[in-house]
Amino acid sequence: MKIKIIIILFILAFSTQLKSQNLSDIERISSFGKLWGIINFFHPQIPYGNINIDSLFIKNIENYISNPSKENYEKSVSGLLLDLGDPYSRILNCISDDTSKYIQGHSSNILKQKDSIIIFSPDFNFVYEVVSKFYSGFDSCYNIINKYDYILIDLRTFPIEINDENKYYIRKFINDLVGMFSDQFLYLPTSRSRYHKGYESEWFSDDSYSKGWIIKNGNVLKPFSLYRFNNKKICLIINKNNAYISDYLRTIQNSENVNILSVGNLGLFEMYDYYDMKLTDDLVARIRLSENINPYGPDKFIPDKLIDSTTDEMVYQESLNLFQNKNRKVFGKAIPPRSYFLSEQVNTYGELPYPPASLRLYALMKYWNIMKYFNPNKNLFKKNWDSVLVEFIPKFLNSKNADEYATSVMELVSQINDSHATVGSMMISEKTRYSPGIEIGYIENKTIISNIKDKEILKTNKIAVGDVITKIDGIEIDSIRIRLSKIISASNKASLNRFINYQLLGGKKDSNVKLNINHNGSETVLDYTRNFDLFEANKPEYNENQIWKIIDDNIGYVNLDLLSKSLVDSMFDDLSGTKAIIFDNRGYPMGTPHDLASHLTDNPLLKQFFQQILYNRRMNKITQVIIILK
């Protein structure tokens, strides 16, 4: 799978107090960047375009690197989460969760009767009993409740802390209880989360990659056939500890005969999917990963009334008052979900070859997170990807100028060991784009001249194809190759040496380069001017009028870089009498491997093998394929 990486380099002067980093500083910045990456790719609010994800990182990391400390790190993480405008994404151990005010209402009595009113306060023991026995024994309770016109159901009796098993019994009971209130099918809210099919390009359109939503449909609630509370006025009394049934409360609220009274502020009452991430300094950040789509009303659950009183008599009186409200709003019909998903907009920072520290870290974290979540070849990385982040944070922070920053970026990209990963910028291009018109090869661990494009150089007879280069500008060639190998991403040694050969003589336009060359058995030092475009200097030379030809009277030669599918048949007709054909695969075949294989063999395995050789660009040690025809 091809991965194209384009890193924008920036320039701007910046001074920071984070001049030398200890391990704690690096670990804090590392965990901050990982947290930002999860928010960037998985928080449900980012696709709507209301949050500038770049500023989210830059603003809050600047707060830390300007004054690195444990306290300031916590402030920076809190700021990152607060800027989302999402109270559900937060630092868990920085939130006061005082539930003492909202403890259970009644757990001693299930039923309390007064005039035409009955108060039903099911505690967990009652719920467990009726659900586990499939409502056996519920008859007597139901018969009493069903005599009354006004039913107050106090759900504050449910446990404050609840495990998954207990949650199952309570949710099952509420599910059936809601079915007793309504003679219609009701629908629980739908949940949806973000998904990515690869990493969608920020620069060009590519249908291979996309992003969107994964939908988890809510359950359909059916009328409960065993027990029905028809034509009754019902009020559910809740508090913040009933959050694990908020989806049911949303749904039943749409019934005209059901009111909901909240005792105390509900706080974080919605049910979402979360990811709890452990950060440095024992912090735990909770990131919301989903959003709810309510088929009957607004995004947020709103009770019919909210009161602060904790006195039972006052609570019940307020519940009865709700029955007198004849103008109660029932939402009635579904609100279409927001289905759009904005593509990320790339913020440009002008010509910034040397950006401030916050932008340098931003570039590092964005690239690192993209590779973490979307590179399919992480198992081929030579280093642990987490350790790479720790290694490069000080390199990016301590880059003193544009050259050092560019080197750090290139070295970072080289860590993925992929020949398709490149780094580009105007600054790099200006400093490396030109050569003296000499093409380089690498044979038997020696750097040799493989071609000379500048005909003026040839006229001097001081240099020839096959000469060995030992030094460039007085520096040993092996030292230069080692230096370049650290900033070039390559899948294997053959690719690495090819890319090094390409860059060895690169420099500024019209600049001079001094070469030490072994020519005709003696070493000489020659000066040349870089006046050839690097691409043109290394471009293979073909005679475009000879896509194929016969050499040595009986051997066919085919340039696959020029052979189109429409010419395959003609090529084989012309070369059918030769004893062998050389297929030159040093370029890129023009979609012909399948057609070629079909002419060469009927064996499906051999066909597949031949196509694999031609298409697999990682097999750079094989530059020509010779097929013998009999």
Confidence of residue 615 (pLDDT cuts 50, 70, 90): low
Q: What is the tens place of the pLDDT at every residue in 142-173? A: 888 888 989 999 999 888 778 888 889 999 99
- Residue length of the chain: 630
Confidence of residue 107 (pLDDT cuts 50, 70, 90): very low
What is the model's pLDDT at position 1? 39
Measured distance CA(592)–CA(385) in Å, rounded = 38
Q: Which two tokens stand for residue 579?
A: 């004893």
Arithmetic mean of pLDDT over the chain? 84
- Terminal C-alpha separation, the chain: 36
Cβ contacts of residue 504 below 8 Å, gap of 6+?
Answer: 440, 447, 469, 472, 477, 480, 481, 484
Confidence of residue 605 (pLDDT cuts 50, 70, 90): confident
What is the model's pLDDT at position 538? 82
What is the model's pLDDT at position 236? 94
Distances (CA, A) of 285 to 81, 102, 459: 8, 26, 70
Q: Which two tokens stand for residue 40?
A: 């960037």
Distances (CA, A) of 565 to 570, 590, 593: 10, 7, 9
What is the model's pLDDT at position 182? 81
Domains of the chain and CATH, by start: 23-91+352-425 (no CATH), 100-322 (3.90.226), 433-538 (2.30.42.10), 548-628 (no CATH)
Query: Angle, to 10 degrees, between the axis of helix 604-615 and the axis of helix 593-600?
Result: 150
What is the model's pLDDT at position 440? 94
What is the model's pLDDT at position 276? 96
Nearest Cα residue to 78 out of 70, 19, 386: 70
Q: Is the pLDDT of residue 3 over 50?
A: no
- Residue type (1 letter), 276: D
Measured distance CA(403)–CA(110) in Å, rounded = 76
Mean pLDDT of 408-424: 93
Q: What is the tens place of the pLDDT at every residue in 180-229? A: 888 888 888 889 999 888 887 776 666 777 788 888 888 888 888 888 88
Query: Angle, to 10 degrees, between the axis of helix 385-397 and the axis of helix 23-42?
Result: 110
Nearest Cα residue to 80 out of 43, 35, 125: 35
Q: Is the pLDDT of residue 38 over 90?
A: yes
Q: What is the tens place of the pLDDT at every residue in 471-520? A: 999 999 999 999 999 999 999 999 999 999 999 999 999 999 999 999 98
Q: Is 466 helix (H, G, I), strand (E, B) or coil?
A: coil
Measured distance CA(131)–CA(395) in Å, rounded = 61
Of all residues in the chain, the percent with pLDDT exceeding 70 is: 84
Confidence of residue 608 (pLDDT cuts 50, 70, 90): confident
Phi–psi pair at 108, nearest 5 degrees: -90, -35
User: Which one is predicted more confidently, 308 or 80?
Assistant: 80
Q: What is the tens place of the pLDDT at every residue in 337-380? A: 555 555 454 556 666 788 999 999 999 999 999 999 999 999 98
Q: What is the tens place of the pLDDT at every residue in 551-599? A: 888 899 998 888 999 999 999 999 988 988 988 887 777 888 888 888 8
Question: Do the Cβ atoms of 554 and 579 come closer than 8 Å?
Answer: yes
Measured distance CA(392)–CA(21) in Å, rounded = 12
Q: What is the tens place of the pLDDT at every residue in 235-271? A: 999 999 999 899 999 888 877 788 999 999 998 999 8
Confidence of residue 439 (pLDDT cuts 50, 70, 90): very high
Confidence of residue 15 (pLDDT cuts 50, 70, 90): very low
Distances (CA, A) of 470 to 180, 434, 447, 475, 541: 89, 20, 7, 8, 26
Alpha helix segments (H runs only) across 120-267 = 124-132, 139-145, 164-181, 246-252
What is the model's pLDDT at position 514? 96
| Three-state secondary structure of 350-382 | CCCCCCCHHHHHHHHHHHHHHHHHHCCCHHHCC
Q: Which two tokens stand for residue 426?
A: 């105007």
Nearest Cα residue to 271 out of 296, 252, 290, 295: 290
Alpha carbon dihedral 279, 280, 281, 283, in 10-degree steps, equals -10
Lowest-confidence range among 95-99, 320-324, 346-350, 482-486? 95-99
What is the model's pLDDT at position 496? 95
| Three-state secondary structure of 482-535 | HHHHCCCCCCCHHHHHHHHHHHCCCECCCCEEEEEEEECCEEEEEEEECCEEHH
What is the model's pLDDT at position 100? 37
Q: Is the pLDDT of residue 617 over 90?
A: no
What is the model's pLDDT at position 435? 92
